[in-house]
A and B are shown apart, each in its own frame.
Chain A
Amino acid sequence: MKIIGFYKLLIIGLLCLPGLKSSGQQQDMAFIEGGTYKPFVKGDKEEVPVNAFWMDKKAVTNTDYQRFVEANPQWSKENAKRIFADSNYLYHWPDSGLSQHSGPPDGAPVVNVSWFAAKAYCEWQNKRLPKLHEWEFVARAFPKNDVSADSLQRIISDWYSNRLKHDFLVGSVYQNTYGVWDMHGLVWEWVYDFNSIVMNNDGRNQEEMPEGLFCGSASLNANDATDYAAFVRFAFRTSLKGNYNLRKLGFRCAK
């Protein structure tokens, strides 16, 4: 018992260490130690380095976003410029703005926000949007309560098949081994460089694709052609433009 208690303390201490390095707000963020990973789309190198960074544990909620809009009226539903956010911007909010008695639940992830809006939100928080490699690096982590590739795959395929039952609130699907919630199963998420890899439809035009990182010619350039969930994410990002606002697309910030 004593030994177990000691180790528990040690682990908690180690987990707290990174927190001590920065300011108090980091309790909402997880420290990602970084490393290298094999990206889905082959670049010049097999392995891509990912430097240490902080990632929001949960996606940004409607309540979070309302505070941002109040502080930044240029991003209100009626003021936002169409070139930065098309006419679906905050589609699910009442025109008067989010109030306590109408609209989506406070703890639900904010959706119908454009890349420009998400970027502005993160900057307002002194953060930034995660980079694609950072996001994918964290998204590979297995669920904390069942550390296996199978359990991660199950969450993804249940999500895609509309079998996932949860109450559509942040922190309701699963927490991964970094302590980060809902990387799959809740909403798609913006990344800073979402359009750096172009999945040209089905990627049949390999010879026409530019080289290197920009070469996303689906099956020919994929590291694992059976990883259909990754195909889906990259195809999804390819279909986006910076001013798009989608009902199933939200975001979280990094630092």
Chain B
Amino acid sequence: MNSIHNFPKLLLPLLAAVILLLAPACQRDKQKFNTDNLPPIKGEVMAKLTVAPEVPPRIQAKTNTKVIVHLEIVEQVMRLADGVEYNFWTFGGVVPGKFIRVRQGDLVEFHLHNHPDNMFPHNIDLHAVTGPGGGAEATLIAPGKSAQFSFRALNEGLYVYHCATAPVGMHIANGMYGLILVEPLAGMSPVDHEFYVMQSEFYTSGRFGERGLQEFDMQKALDENPDYVVMNGAVGASAGENAMQVKVGETVRLFLGNGGPNLVSSFHAIGEIFDKVYIEGGSMYTENVQTTLIPAGGSAIVEFKCEVPGTLHLVDHSIFRAFNKGAIAQIKVIGEENHDVFSGKEKETVYLPEGSAIQKVGERKDASEEVVSERTLEERLEKGESLYKQNCLACHMDQGKGVIGVFPPLNNSDFLQARDDKGFGIIVNGLQGEIVVNGTSYNNIMPAMHMSDDNIASVMTYIFTELNNGGGLINAADVRQWREKNK
């Protein structure tokens, strides 16, 4: 009896010791504050706020200090996508709102200003605040008014802030969110680059890409059915020419947020593995992660080293949001190839499974050798449209609009129209490397499409005629002739 009873008693301290030994491996050294004996505040600094994807430098003072933050609320019409505008409600004139950086233990004196030309009352709820409404109740202000309150940053972590004025959902849906980092007094481990990326969605009266000034659609917001899911406030805001840039061998830390208002993000970097993820922006981290979940009104910190050159696509891996609603940001990694890590395509060969009833060696006709009777323009357009939807739409988008900086447009494409081969070569051989289409540069890879001459003729007839590239019927014979010449 006695020995059995004592065994767990002996085991407990042992277990505790093991846990204590293991804990530092996956948890930052966390200082616990006694709120009756807070660290003294020395001096004061004016917080430097930044626009995404930039992150402010950390505050250098050795001891805790008073950090003065001024944030101005501005309602203004800005770009949501090319040709699409929206009346955004913003913290600091930008979506997502400006990034705020303080240290654990700092005293934050917060000044919120509602611009006099604004139409609506606003306030702020900072998830980093310990106190009623996260500051919301202390800051409700009419246009032309300022509010001030102070708080101690008790808990370290990466926190979302947002407007919490009724109707809350509408204020958030119009762009009112941002991030505040509360880092350890001594700072986080040094990295080469820190970036700020925040996902959110927009509910517009018009469908994705519909031009003009769009209005907020309450019904779509209630249905949680957004037309736009974006990184950093607009389609392409941090992609293409606006992509973040790093060099091979450099380390990157991303401060990630999700403003919602509704969707949860399955955050993923195409072409990279996260070495470390601070789960939900807190103190605990996990390692070697492919996709991390960021709740609406939540955050994550991810770290990785860029080993090879190329473009990393930061996406919500609920993938239609990325390729069809805008949720893509990019990091361009510049530098020398490292073939020990990634070879690139070494070779591409025809794959012929054995024992297949359909594709026996010798029976399979080369795609180019099919003999078909030609079709009329109407037939080609009908076939071409369905082929476009099957093969092209996922990247080049509806109506060939493309995704700015990521997938080139096919609609009225100067690049396509200037080619002698009517684009056959791109379909047959694929295309990679930097190109300029309608004034925007693209650097991506399109794989070779294994399509018959007949199908290439149909899809290109569709692209030339329906997508404003000058029109004209293309025959299978045209494709065959091109193949002959370019064997």
Which B residue's beta carbon lies closest to that of A187? B119
**Complex interface: chain B residues within 8 A of A235 (CB):** 120-121, 165-167
- Which one of B116, B120, B166 lies within 8 Å of A199 (CB-CB)? B166
- The chain A residue with its CB closest to the CB of B77 is A162
Please encode chain B, from 191 to 219, with 1 for each CB lying within 8 Å of some chain A CB and 0 for all others: 00000000000000100000001111010
Judged by a CB distance under 8 angstroms, whether A8 is at the interface is: no
- Within the assembled complex, what's the spacing in Å between the Cα atoms of A222 and B165? 15
Contact indicator A247/B167 (Cβ below 8 Å): no
Q: Name the distance in Å between A201's Cβ and chain B's nearest Cβ.
A: 5
| B254 contacts the other chain (CB 8 A) | no
Residues of B within 8 A of A239 (CB): 121, 140-142, 145, 165
Question: Is B36 positioned at the interface, with any CB of A under 8 Å from its CB?
Answer: no
B142's contact among A201, A228, A232, A244, by CB below 8 Å, is which?
Answer: A244
A132 contacts chain B at the CB level, 8 A cutoff: no
Query: CA A44 – CA B87 in complex, angstroms?
Result: 38
Q: Encode contact with B along A219-255: 1 for CB under 8 Å, 0 otherwise.
A: 1000000101001101110111000111110000000
Query: CB of A170 within 8 A of chain B?
Result: no
Contact A247 B215 (CB under 8 A): no
The answer to whether A161 and B213 touch (CB under 8 A), given A202-B164, A247-B143, is yes
Is the beta-carbon distance between B137 and A88 smaller than 8 angstroms? no
Cβ contact of A226, chosen from B77, B133, B168, B222, cutoff 8 A: B222
Beta-carbon contact of A158 and B215 below 8 Å = yes
Asked if A160 contacts B216 (CB within 8 A), the reply is yes
Q: How long is the Cα–Cα vector from A228 to B164 in the complex, in angstroms?
A: 14
Cβ of A204 < 8 Å from any Cβ of B? yes
CB A228 to nearest CB in B, in angstroms, measures 4
List the B side residues contacting A231 at CB < 8 Å: 166-167, 170
Q: Are A163 and B142 in contact (CB under 8 A)?
A: no
CA distance A160 to B118 in the complex (A): 11
Residues of chain B with a CB closer than 8 A to A240's CB: 142
How far apart sit A202 and B171, CA to CA, in the bound complex (Å)?
11
Q: Considering residues B116, B142, B169, B170, which has the most beta carbons from chain A within 10 angstroms of its beta carbon? A: B142
Beta-carbon contact of A232 and B167 below 8 Å: yes
Given the known interface contacts A239-B141, A246-B144, the answer about A201 and B166 at a Cβ–Cβ threshold of 8 Å is yes
Q: Is A200 an interface residue (CB 8 A)?
A: yes
Q: Does A43 contact B (CB under 8 A)?
A: no
Contact (A236, B215) CB under 8 Å given A161-B87, A202-B165, A228-B167:
no
Chain B residue with the shortest CB-CB distance to A236: B121
Across-interface contacts of B141 in A (CB, < 8 A) = 239
Chain A residues with Cβ below 8 Å from B116 are: 88, 91, 246-247
User: Known contacts A162-B77, A234-B166; is A248 also within 8 Å of B119 by CB?
Assistant: yes
B410 CB → nearest A CB, Å: 31
Q: A157 contacts the other chain (Cβ, under 8 Å)?
A: yes
Q: Which of B77, B87, B167, B214 counts the most A-chain CB atoms under 10 A from its CB?
A: B167
User: Are A248 and B143 interface neighbours, CB within 8 A?
Assistant: yes
Tell me the complex Cα distance, A247–B214, Å: 24
- Is A85 interfacial (CB 8 A cutoff)? no
Residues of B within 8 A of A157 (CB): 205, 215-216, 218
Complex interface bits, B63-91 against A, C-beta within 8 A gives 1, otherwise 0:
00000000000010100000000110000
Min CB gap A246→B, angstroms: 5
Interface presence of A218 (CB below 8 A)? yes
Which residues of chain B are near A226, meaning CB under 8 Å?
218, 222
> Is there a chain A Cβ closer than 8 Å to B117's Cβ?
yes
**In this assembly, does A203 line the interface, its C-beta being within 8 Å of a C-beta of chain B?**
yes
Contact with B along A22-42 (1 / 0, CB 8 A): 000000000000000000000
Smallest distance from the beta carbon of B225 to chain A beta carbons, Å? 15
Of B143, B215, B222, which contacts A161 at CB under 8 A?
A: B215
Interface 1/0 per residue, B151-194 and A, CB below 8 Å: 00000000000001111111000000000000000000000000
Contact partner of B120 among A201, A202, A236, CB < 8 A? A236
The answer to whether B123 touches A201, judged by C-beta atoms less than 8 angstroms apart, is yes
Q: A202-B168, A232-B170 are in contact. List 7 more A-B contacts (CB 8 A).
A: A91-B116, A235-B166, A238-B140, A244-B142, A246-B143, A246-B144, A248-B119
- 18 interchain pairs (CB within 8 A)? A160-B87, A160-B119, A162-B77, A163-B87, A201-B140, A202-B133, A202-B136, A228-B169, A231-B170, A236-B121, A238-B140, A239-B121, A239-B140, A239-B142, A244-B144, A246-B143, A247-B143, A247-B144
